[in-house]
Chain A
Amino acid sequence: MDLCDLSALELSRLLGEKKTSAVEILESSLRRIGEVDGRPGSLNAGEITPNDRSRVHAMITLTEDLALEQAREVDRKLAAGEKVGPLAGVPFTVKDIFCVKDTPSTAGSRILANFVAPYTATPVERMVAAGALMIGKVNLDEFTYGSSTESSAFQPSTRNPWDTSRVPGGSSGGSTASVAAYEVPLSLGTDTAGSIRQPAAFCGVVGVKPTYGRVSRYGLIAFASSLDCPGPVSRTVTDAASMLQVIAGPDSHDATAATTPVSDYLSNLEMGVRGMRIGLSPDYFRITFPDGQGGFKEQELPAEIEKAVRHAADVLASMGAEIVEDVPMPNTRYGIPAYFVISRVEAASNLHRYDGVKYGLRTTQNYTDLKSMYKLTRNEGFGLQPKLRILMGMYVSAAQYSEQYYKRALRVRTLIRRDFEAAFDPAGNYRLDALLTPTTPTTAFEMDAVYGDSVLMQYADQLTVPANHAGVPGISLPGGLDSAQLPIGIQLLGADYSEDKLFRVARAYEMATESEDWRKVKPKVLR
């Protein structure tokens, strides 16, 4: 057992008891990274070798010097008897979509490969202020556009620690893989349609998408501004709650950050679920997609996934929760089409600033005028995903199509929101405290299996995207292993600002399943 195998909570305890130091913890993390991570993602990676195929490749930029400086400061404070923050000495990784001062902030894109941010994102700043040690920036789908991390311009892209021939999910694949491989106990990710929860499910870790606005977006390189949520990745529910406690709250730099007071996520964490109403919805046990003829095709989920969710319901029921069956969430099926439109309109606009004028890549080819500079730069700098999203976003927001697509998608979004309002309404028919669902329609898929088919890739998010439309919080938890020994994720969704309740349900489930066999299995890279 190495220090890096411990949770943030356990590390804090050891530090508090002076049984270890922040520098020792850091060294343990760096050792683990050295053992399992392989070479970091880079622009001109060349051939992917068999050795590469057996590694995790979570990292893009290792910030060990910065982390060492932070660790020494924590140790100095502890030695001097000064007060330290709640995450003192706990290493964490940051999805490379957050700006960190004097550190490359690449968004996984060639166009920002040389961009060194002059300021630090609010959530990162809060982590550091809480004493956490930033150990590196981790890989992601380019500009977070994807569900497998394969679309990063920085290759080799991250691989799943449970089976390195499979994807870690995405776009926060580097975050969840670094946590799953026990490189760090915590990571900061972002979730726009499921980009924390889906890779958390694939990698068998805890991933939280907080209520929209609960965590400041300042310094998060925007994808779809009205949907983006920074959130924690961890191995335990308690660690996720501690981390959210640190990063949540209003921010004078983000007008959309909620001013609602932040709940205490920790005090009642282990109060159990007696009397709580937990819903199951048939609309989350199948995926539905357009058949191209104006109708919809339905597909049942793999039995193992449904079984894991029903097992979780049984566990919660045995602890005194009331399970409410057949909660209708009829607009779930429109989540992906509406998301396709809204996210691309915002993404296309958010990508305008990468024009070769101010920072990032500018073409080195000869250009004759401004327009050709723009074209060459953006053509060289953006990978396939940004290009597709720009095309789609420009198309559906054009004056003549906007009503038909964008404005219609916004109305659909309102309908999805109403599904949740009805389910969580304390005076309504269902009065749920949480909705329990699978996180993903499948477990981790093979590398290259889906990549390139952006529509199919998108359906990996069907069960997670409704929460982004509605703005409500969601958590993905490890819920067992399938027959291929791959993690299955289960998801809890709640009403606005009900993270405290979700953590409580999640922790109850975690405690009740502590001794189940699958909990003892470690990812393959560590076996």
Chain B
Amino acid sequence: MTEYEAVIGLETHIQLNTKTKIFCSCKADSWADEPNTNICPVCCGLPGVLPVLNKAVVEKAVVLANAMHSEIQPLSYFDRKNYFYPDLPKGYQISQFDQSLGKGGYLDLPIPAANSFDKKAYIRRVSIWKLHIEEDAGKTKNAGNRRFIDFNRCGVPLVEMVTGPDLRTADEAAQYLIRLRQLLRWLGISEADMEKAHLRCDANVSIRVKGETVLNPKTEIKNVNSIEAVRDAIATEIDRQVREVEAGHRIEAWTLEWDEDTGSLKKMRSKETEADYRYFREPDLLPIRMTEEWKAKILAGFPELPLQRRARFVEQYGLPEYDADILTGERRLSDYYEEAVKDYGGDPKKVSNWLMNDVLRMINEQGLNPSEMKLTPQALASLLKLVDGGTINISTGKSLLQKVQDTGRTPEAIVSEEGLGKVSDDSAIRTVCEEVLTESPNEVASYKAGKVTLIGWFVGQVMKKMRGKADAAMARSILEELLK
């Protein structure tokens, strides 16, 4: 049987999180707004209006270009992309065509073993073919015979980024989007929420016999609004193309639409000829002159990127890849981790365990922001030291996490105030141990009959009575002595 491989390129549109739109002073985000309430003459394309470029858009795009290893052009231009559509109020979109802000670039994508064919992790380098700034159009809603148009989204700043045909599996495509989303949030330039269309993706898919280098006719999949949907849609399309080719059919250059509900692709239109957008330079805007000075100002304080930090965590703290990946999933979390490690001074893996098992659960369940928690990295570090020093036991330590978060008081203060210090007084523990044994004659009998594993259960009973404060090791040796 012939073995095929998929050739996938992704076109992404990234909504930048600027305060205002790209060419006017309306606010950029209209997520919660009624239709047509966040508009002005400029973004609605009234006669006589002119665009004025929002510099913050350029600055955020430069940050992204830098992260994608794209060459930032000293001189780039805006162009008009002409086409008619009701939600495109000017009848042209202001975009960048042949001389855009970023030139080339790539993203090195670590593919985890779990997502790999041969169960070995590898790196996929994805080239960037296009990186430019443009304005968004409005939204059209069809209701029966009628169209409703919402202009709120007109003029929202976007970066369009197109990859080369470098991705080979649906999983790789999903990984690309996962890493891109992580990066965008890390850089603070986009909310990158696919469900809210801050990050949109069209996928170009073709297949070829494995080992060949030709590019066969491709289909374009639109309307996929989650990473899972991108993965499913591409996988479905690859299967379809393989079936078609195996049946001796040709793949036609269709545009396909993903139907999330049925998990199937529908043909939107044939795409025999490229539309002619009659691009020409936008005469209403000056070129973007990216001086070295301006670029340096924008890139001052450019952060360590997630994949770099991930590698460093493995290297510097000896963390397993798994831990490093989770801890660098989000920038504030990884900052939190590093601060805690620094303050703690002990085993970084121990900090990672506490963070990943307990603190992260608090963060996720309670929707907390790691950089604004009352349980600061310093508090976590001192809590760990209290455990290490034997002042409190682990279970007390774990219950302290939420108390610190709730009150904002230091772990030390809470321990001393609530008398949470570990009880290592022999007689106090001994009294409780005796109580437990008296109350559990059946278990005592079983133990004595040889079921010595019950010792754990007895220790548990003691801990329960003492609300976790007992020194467990001491309780165990007293119990063993009493049960002799």
> A residues bordering B, Cβ < 8 Å?
98-99, 105, 107, 112, 115, 117-119, 121, 217-222, 224-226, 252-256, 345-346, 348-349, 351-353, 355, 357-359, 370, 374, 394, 397-399, 402, 406
Contacts and interface: CB of A to CB of B under 8 A. Distances in A.
A321 to B, nearest CB: 36
Nearest to B82: A349
Interface residues of B, number: 28
A427 B149 CA distance: 58
Nearest to B44: A358
A118 B149 contact: no
Contact of B280 (A98, A105, A357, A397): A397
Contacts of B82: 348-349, 352, 397
Interface stretch (B50-58, B62-70, B320-328, B474-482): B50-58
A256 B89 CA distance: 21
Contacts of A402: 278, 280
B460 interface: no
A95 to B, nearest CB: 12
A349 B48 contact: no
Given A121-B48, A219-B48, A359-B46, A349 B80 contact: yes
B106 interface: no
Contact of A255 (B46, B50, B91, B147): B50
Interface of B: 41, 44-53, 80, 82, 84, 86, 89-92, 147, 149, 276, 278, 280, 283-286
12 contacts: A119-B41, A221-B48, A222-B47, A255-B285, A346-B280, A349-B80, A352-B91, A352-B92, A355-B91, A394-B278, A398-B276, A402-B278
Contact of B91 (A119, A217, A219, A353): A353
Contact of B89 (A105, A226, A353, A398): A353
Contacts of A105: 47-48
A225 B48 CA distance: 10
Contacts of A399: 276, 278
B91 A349 contact: yes
A467 B167 CA distance: 53
Contacts, number: 99
Contacts of A398: 276, 278
Contacts of B283: 224-226, 256, 346
B149 A352 contact: no
A353 B45 contact: yes
Given A256-B284, A349-B92, A355-B91, A117 B276 contact: no
Contacts of B147: 370
Query: Which 3 pairs across A and B sit closest by C-beta, in order of nearness?
Result: A352-B91, A226-B283, A225-B283
A112 B47 contact: yes
A399 B283 CA distance: 18
A357 B86 contact: yes
Contacts of B278: 345, 349, 394, 397-399, 402
Nearest to A357: B86
Contacts of A115: 47
Contacts of B91: 349, 351-353, 355
A357 B52 contact: no
Given A225-B283, A358-B89, A353 B52 contact: no
Interface centre among B46, B80, B90, B149 (most CB of A within 10 A): B46
Nearest to A111: B47
B50 A217 contact: yes
Interface centre among B41, B48, B82, B149 (most CB of A within 10 A): B48
B47 A406 contact: no
B240 to A, nearest CB: 30
A252 B48 CA distance: 15
A397 B86 CA distance: 22
A218 B50 contact: yes
B280 A345 contact: yes
B93 to A, nearest CB: 11
Contacts of B92: 349, 352
Contacts of A98: 48
A253 B46 contact: no
Nearest to A360: B47
A121 B47 CA distance: 10
A107 B47 contact: yes
